[in-house]
């Protein structure tokens, strides 16, 4: 999802391995970094960037609040790439 010479920041904790296309990373000169946490100022910056459409999210599915258990089950099964959104 990153553009050429873009940066991918990995967040969250999991013990599961990840796969990637090494050729794509090398050819596109993608930088891959890990992040443990962020500050409130960082959150404000990201919100401004999202408002200006400088970052994109990857929403895989939306669920009404009544189906929150189904969304949680998908997360627990590891069948989610991106984000699930629960709509109140």
**What pTM, to 2 d.p., does this model score?**
0.46
CA distance 5 to 27: 9
Q: Which residue has the higher pLDDT, 14 or 2?
A: 2
CA atoms in the 13 A half-sphere facing the CB of 47 = 7
Q: What is the pLDDT of residue 69?
A: 96
CA distance 82 to 72: 14
Q: What is the pLDDT of residue 67?
A: 96
CA distance 34 to 14: 12
Q: What is the pLDDT of residues 12-52, one digit of tens each?
A: 777 778 888 999 999 999 999 988 888 889 889 988 988 89
CA-based angle 28:29:32, to the nearest 5? 115
């Amino acid at each position: 999802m990153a553009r050429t010479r873009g940066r991918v920041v990995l967040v969250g904790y999991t013990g599961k391995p990840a796969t990637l296309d090494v050729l794509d990373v090398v050819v596109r000169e993608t930088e891959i970094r890990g992040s443990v946490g962020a500050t409130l100022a960082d959150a404000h910056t990201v919100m401004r960037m999202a408002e200006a459409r400088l970052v994109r999210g990857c929403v895989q599915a939306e669920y009404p609040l009544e189906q929150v258990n189904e969304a949680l089950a998908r997360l627990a099964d590891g069948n989610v790439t991106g984000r699930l959104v629960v709509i109140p």
